[in-house]
């Protein structure tokens, strides 16, 4: 029997039909207006709620955690918001930790509708330790009351970042002062779904080279481990180093890390994404010009080998003044999309972006694409994949008389801007809206969460969701039906061995989703049944299949879509 990948005539017809459908959709796709939502209240309890973070709930909604002072001391709270923007758990959130002095939470999905939350906690001590808690989809904490200890050694542990391990647990990395109260090292730990620590007690040493190692960031290696990058002062100026740690907690590369960039002067604040082929792409702010910071990037393979030019490739063609605070996300095609804060005007900060392909060649304008150059400062950009090789970018915006608002923009893989040139206003109500963060909703849209001072008395937490046409979740009790067929990129990707595929149906009909190997042979049928309009997800457990590239294909009526995924064992 011929497959769709080996029958040329069938493949040509499918491609033609898919192109025709896409072209027709582009012609009729609504254009977003610039009307805003006031946002959906996550918590408006007394006193301050600050430092919010968010993770997908796997059903088009989001789980949010924050630092909360409603009782007069800083505690950790959380809330789940559904795809309509309505709170699922108790009003103003549920307590995650009610001990005193808890700060800067981090959060990741547990893959089962709940989340794992970590934070730094003083709880009676002069120095901070790290604790974690898991909460299920119903809002019930799963581990020891007030959290399980992740690291409780002497001196400070701070600057936590965290990812899912792809198996219901999490991997954390942090700055650790146990060896010297003034010079931090980098440590990491893995937690399983039951709250047990899988690696060395109090963390695995990722780098304890003399001098300071700061600002760790990490991304999954698709095999239960992670790639961790940081900026490192061992040479007297800051350089970028990276290490890979395996699923069992053993470092995989040179002791204390492989040099990503050791150019003269400082390289600071790296961010990291998967390259889709078992390696990573790392971006950072670089002072090698000795006059201002520019944005550079480097790709490293699964064994740490440098792939692009030694010391990295410039992303903004060394334009004038400073470019800082880069953020990066995979473009799903072996490259990445970056955003940053840009001072090239010499007076105010703007947001710019760039796409780089798998060979290190920039794909957009050499100096980067304008995301927003409105009056006042635009800072603190965050971005997430749009599920179609582009990205959603959100930022803190000071165009309105010094107050801070939240804006967003969508940029396609070809650099086309989806909304107004100065951005789509997410929220610009009275007083400040600051610290926006963004997560995918799994259906080609995203959810933005922020810290909001509209009351004029204290900060609260708000959120809103949007799709390609703008804000869609405005707190109604109705259901926002999808307006188009969509098949989202699986997550995680690369994966081992379980991955999740989200899809949307604007109308009822039979749905078939199959898995195909690199030769186009069908190896599994995930679903083949009649379904009503709505948002769905399906899981593929590839435990019985070898590593490699696979394709998944969705058919419903005249809609046909294929996407690639990578199984790495």
pLDDT confidence bin for 19, thresholds 50/70/90: very low
> For residue 505, is it within any domain?
yes
Determine the pLDDT at residue 508. 82
pLDDT confidence bin for 1, thresholds 50/70/90: very low
Determine the pLDDT at residue 488. 85
> For residue 29, is it within any domain?
no
Determine the pLDDT at residue 458. 97
Question: How far is Cα 206 from Cα 282, in angstroms, rounded to an integer?
Answer: 17
Q: Look at residue 317 and tell me whether its pLDDT is greater than 90.
A: yes
Report the length, in residues, of the chain.
Answer: 569
Q: Look at residue 10 and tell me whether its pLDDT is greater than 80.
A: no
Q: pLDDT by residue (tens digit) across 254-299? A: 999 999 999 999 999 999 999 999 999 999 999 999 999 999 999 9
> For residue 550, is it within any domain?
yes
Q: pLDDT by residue (tens digit) across 170-198? A: 999 999 999 988 999 999 999 999 999 99
CA dihedral (287, 290, 293, 299) in degrees, to 10, reads -40
pLDDT confidence bin for 489, thresholds 50/70/90: confident
Q: Look at residue 477 and tell me whether its pLDDT is greater than 50.
A: no
Q: Look at residue 16 and tell me whether its pLDDT is greater than 60.
A: no
Determine the pLDDT at residue 318. 95
pLDDT confidence bin for 472, thresholds 50/70/90: low
> For residue 314, is it within any domain?
no
Place of tokens 């997908």: 56
Q: Is the dihedral of CA 385, 286, 260, 178 positive or negative?
A: negative
Q: pLDDT by residue (tens digit) across 206-265? A: 999 999 999 999 999 999 999 999 999 999 999 999 999 999 999 999 999 999 999 999
Determine the pLDDT at residue 298. 98
The closest alpha carbon to 339, from 323, 328, 348, 331, belongs to: 328
CATH number for the domain that contains residue 553? 2.60.40.1930
Q: Look at residue 383 and tell me whether its pLDDT is greater than 70.
A: yes
> For residue 160, is it within any domain?
no
Q: Look at residue 420 and tell me whether its pLDDT is greater than 60.
A: yes
Helix (H) or strand (E) holding 18: helix 8-28
Q: Look at residue 33 and tell me whether its pLDDT is greater than 50.
A: no
Q: pLDDT by residue (tens digit) across 35-93? A: 457 899 999 999 999 999 999 999 999 999 999 999 999 999 999 999 889 999 999 99
pLDDT confidence bin for 399, thresholds 50/70/90: very high
For residue 130, list its beta bridge partners.
Answer: 120, 151
Determine the pLDDT at residue 480. 46
Domain total of the chain? 1
Distance from the Cα of residue 358 to its chain's centroid: 20
Domain that holds residue 541: 486-567
User: What mean pLDDT do residues 334-363 have?
Assistant: 97
Q: What is the mean pLDDT of the chain?
A: 90
> For residue 539, is it within any domain?
yes
Q: Look at residue 475 and tell me whether its pLDDT is greater than 70.
A: no
Percent of the chain exceeding pLDDT 90 equals 78
Per-position b or e across 390-417, b if 16+ CB within 10 A of its CB: bbbbbbbbbbeeebbbbbbbbbebebeb
- Six token digits for residue 543: 């435990």
Q: Look at residue 34 and tell me whether its pLDDT is greater than 90.
A: no
Determine the pLDDT at residue 114. 97
Per-position b or e across 324-344, b if 16+ CB within 10 A of its CB: bbbbbbbbbebbbbbbbbbbb
Determine the pLDDT at residue 534. 77
Q: Look at residue 7 and tell me whether its pLDDT is greater than 70.
A: no
> For residue 194, is it within any domain?
no
> For residue 169, is it within any domain?
no
Q: pLDDT by residue (tens digit) across 500-529? A: 898 888 888 899 999 999 999 999 999 998
Determine the pLDDT at residue 131. 98
């Amino acid at each position: 029997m011929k497959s769709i990948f080996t029958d040329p005539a069938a493949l040509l017809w499918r491609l033609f039909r898919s192109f025709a459908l896409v072209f027709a959709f582009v012609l009729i796709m609504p254009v977003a207006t610039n009307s805003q939502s006031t946002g959906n209240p996550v918590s408006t309890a007394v006193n301050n709620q600050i430092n919010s973070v968010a993770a997908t709930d796997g059903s088009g909604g989001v789980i949010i955690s924050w630092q909360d002072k409603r009782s007069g001391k800083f505690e950790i709270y959380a809330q789940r918001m559904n795809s309509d923007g309505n709170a699922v758990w108790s009003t103003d959130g549920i307590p995650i930790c009610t001990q005193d002095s808890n700060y800067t939470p981090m959060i990741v999905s547990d893959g089962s509708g709940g989340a794992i939350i970590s934070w730094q906690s003083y709880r009676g001590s002069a120095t901070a330790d790290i604790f974690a808690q898991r909460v299920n989809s119903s809002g019930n904490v799963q581990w020891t009351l007030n959290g399980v200890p992740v690291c409780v050694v002497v001196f400070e542990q701070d600057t936590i970042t965290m990812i899912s391990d792809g198996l219901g647990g999490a991997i954390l990395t942090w700055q650790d002062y146990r060896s010297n109260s003034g010079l931090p090292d980098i440590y990491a730990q893995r937690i399983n779904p039951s709250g047990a620590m899988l690696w060395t007690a109090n963390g695995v040493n990722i780098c304890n080279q003399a001098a300071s190692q700061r600002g760790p960031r990490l991304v999954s290696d698709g095999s239960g481990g992670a790639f961790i990058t940081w900026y490192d002062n061992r040479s007297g100026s800051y350089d970028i180093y990276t290490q890979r740690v395996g699923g069992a907690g053993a470092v995989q590369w040179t002791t204390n890390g492989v040099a990503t960039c050791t150019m003269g002067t400082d390289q600071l604040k790296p961010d990291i994404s998967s390259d889709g082929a078992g390696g990573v792409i790392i971006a950072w702010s670089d002072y090698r010009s000795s006059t201002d910071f520019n944005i550079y990037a480097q790709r490293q393979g699964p064994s740490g080998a440098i792939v692009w030019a030694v010391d990295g490739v410039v992303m903004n063609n060394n334009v004038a003044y400073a470019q800082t605070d880069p953020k990066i996300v995979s473009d799903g095609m072996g490259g990445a999309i970056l955003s940053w804060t840009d001072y090239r005007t010499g007076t105010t900060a703007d947001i710019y972006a760039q796409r780089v392909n798998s060979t290190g060649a920039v794909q957009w304008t050499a100096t980067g694409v304008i995301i927003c150059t409105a009056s006042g400062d635009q800072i603190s950009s965050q971005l997430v994949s749009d599920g179609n090789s582009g990205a959603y970018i959100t930022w803190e915006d000071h165009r309105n008389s010094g107050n801070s608002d939240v804006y967003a923009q969508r940029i396609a893989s070809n650099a086309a801007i989806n909304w107004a040139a100065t951005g789509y206003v997410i929220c610009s109500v009275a007083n400040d809206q600051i610290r926006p963060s963004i997560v995918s909703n799994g259906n080609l849209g995203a959810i933005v969460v922020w810290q909001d001072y509209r009351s004029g008395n204290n900060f609260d937490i708000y959120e809103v969701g949007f799709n390609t046409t703008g804000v869609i979740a405005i707190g109604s009790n109705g259901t926002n039906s999808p307006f188009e067929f969509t098949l989202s990129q699986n997550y995680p990707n690369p994966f081992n061995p379980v991955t999740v595929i989200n899809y949307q149906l604007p109308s009822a009909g039979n749905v078939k989703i199959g898995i195909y190997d690199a030769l186009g042979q069908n190896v599994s049928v995930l679903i083949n049944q009649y379904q009503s309009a709505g948002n769905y997800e399906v899981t593929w457990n590839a435990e019985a299949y070898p590593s490699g590239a696979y394709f998944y294909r969705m058919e419903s009526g005249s809609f046909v879509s294929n996407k690639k995924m990578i199984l790495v064992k």
